[in-house]
Amino acid sequence: MSDERPAWARRIAGEREARQWSQAEAVAALRAHSPKPLPEGASMLRQWKRWESGEVLPSDFYQPIIAQTFGTVTHAIFPVAGRRDGGTEIAAASGMETLDILSRLQASDVDNATLDALRITTDRLCSEYPHLPSGQLAIEGRQWLRRIAGLQSQRLTLAQHREVLALSGWLALLVGCVEYDMGDRAAAESTRRAALSLAHEAENAEIAGWAHEMRAWFALTTGDYRGILAASQAGSEAARGKGVAVQLAAHEAKGWARLGDRRQTEVALDRGRKLLEGMAYPENLDHHFVVDPAKFDFYAMDCYRLLGEDRFAENLAHEVIRAGTDFDGAERAPMRMAEARVTLGVVAARQGDLEQAVQYGEWALKGERQSLPSLLMVSRELAAIVNRDFNKAPAGMDYLEHLNVLSRASLSGLG
């Protein structure tokens, strides 16, 4: 029988069950996190039961307390609806289609309408990161980067010059990420350094922070765990109070988790949670360089899987998949969802269920849009368990061979 409760009600119940709390224990935890006394007696327990049943949506007062009780942010449990169409926005904001923008770029003077259109075009490209094939996105990103960089030879005001540098910086970040996804590590590092240089020239702290975030990501996927901590801390210094600081805290947590330090992992996660909770809800959840609330569950999932907290990791993996799936079944966040499926595979393997472990592992490897370094990193965790416990089983051998083929293909592209 299907569970027809709202997603937030299922999430509240799932988080409680993952902690093996009774409903009374959950209410006690809620009291401990509340900034002021809550109703006494059985009334609070009745309220909790109404929340879990989906009968009543928690009020704006209770929502952040519930999120804090479960170590996440408000809008990860209680999301805000809203999607944007970047192509429509270009026309709406400036009245220009792509050909019009290109013709305007040939002019000796660049007006603000042209820059607005270029800003939205850059936003659109960054929003297509989860879906567009890597090769196509790399080509488009480089084309627009060359066009925008060419504006520097034209007559620009100081403000326009800084805007052109910033747009170039965002596109360089995007191209660098895609290059790394495709396995071209040398090109990605060169592009990342170019983005950092553009950030300094434009005096843009957020672009600088994301350039450091890329270095942390590169270190994470190559096993340089101390390098993750150094890059994360440098980025946090460069981009205090910016959205990227949340992702930098998450990378730091991932580094500590891989070093086996549970306390430091949870300290870094909590710092990121507090930063994200205090930020405005993003206008464009699809933008690659925006930290949306659902990403926080993804970060925590990775850490709990590594720390061996299987109930927490499994619960969060299901949430990542649910949040990344549109009403029509389309996957909005295929790369996050692939790593969530590997997490479910790891949990299944630890529980001795090879069939389910391999099913999840193979499902993750079949996605059309992949970040190979990240996917291979988490897949190797599953492979290590399969190799240790099931290396004689045909299904286990087939999965390990599939992963080896993918690893060799990835290594052949690394410089």
Looking at 60-74, 169-183, 357-371, which range is the least confident one? 357-371
> CA 358, CA 361: separation in Å to the nearest integer?
5
φ and ψ at residue 109, rounded to 5 degrees: -115, 140
- The one-letter code for the residue type at 334 is P
At 278 the three-state DSSP class reads: coil
Residue 194 tokens read as 């170019």
- Reply yes or no on whether the pLDDT at 90 is more than 50: no
Q: What is the DSSP letter of 153?
A: G
Mean confidence (pLDDT) of the chain = 88
Residues near 246 by beta carbon (within 8 Å), at least 6 away in sequence: 272, 275, 276, 279, 291, 295, 296
**97-135 per-position pLDDT tens digit:** 555 555 555 555 667 788 888 888 899 999 998 888 889
179-192 burial string, b = 16+ CB within 10 Å, else e? bbbbbbbebbbebb
| pLDDT for residue 282 | 87
Concatenate the DSSP letters of all residues of 10-74 into one string. Answer: HHHHHHHHHTT--HHHHHHHHHHH-SSPPP-TTHHHHHHHHHHHTSSPPPTTHHHHHHHHTTS-H
**337-346 per-position pLDDT tens digit:** 999 999 999 9
> CA 148, CA 145: separation in Å to the nearest integer?
5
Residues near 365 by beta carbon (within 8 Å), at least 6 away in sequence: 338, 375, 379, 402, 403, 406
- Reply yes or no on whether the pLDDT at 12 is more than 80: yes
In the chain, the N- to C-terminal Cα span, in Å, equals 52
- Reply yes or no on whether the pLDDT at 86 is more than 70: no
Kindly indicate the confidence band of residue 9, based on its pLDDT and cuts at 50, 70 and 90: very high
Question: Looking at residues 57-61, what average pLDDT do you find?
Answer: 94
Helix, strand and coil percent figures for the chain, each rounded to 5: 70, 0, 25
Question: Looking at residues 229-250, what average pLDDT do you find?
Answer: 93
- Reply yes or no on whether the pLDDT at 94 is more than 50: no
| pLDDT for residue 411 | 61
**244-285 per-position pLDDT tens digit:** 999 999 999 999 999 999 999 999 999 999 999 999 888 888
Kindly indicate the confidence band of residue 87, based on its pLDDT and cuts at 50, 70 and 90: very low
**351-401 per-position pLDDT tens digit:** 999 999 999 999 988 876 777 788 888 999 999 999 999 988 999 899 999
Question: Looking at residues 135-145, what average pLDDT do you find?
Answer: 92
Q: In which residue are the tokens 């990775």 written?
A: 302
317-338 burial string, b = 16+ CB within 10 Å, else e? bbbbbbbbeeeeeebbbbbbbb
Q: What is the DSSP letter of 281?
A: P
Total H helices, total E strands in the chain: 21, 0
- Reply yes or no on whether the pLDDT at 17 is more than 70: yes
The more confident residue out of 142 and 91 is 142
At 154 the three-state DSSP class reads: coil
What pTM was computed for the model? 0.84
| pLDDT for residue 11 | 94
| pLDDT for residue 105 | 54
Contact 325, 31 (CB under 8 A): no
- Reply yes or no on whether the pLDDT at 84 is more than 50: no
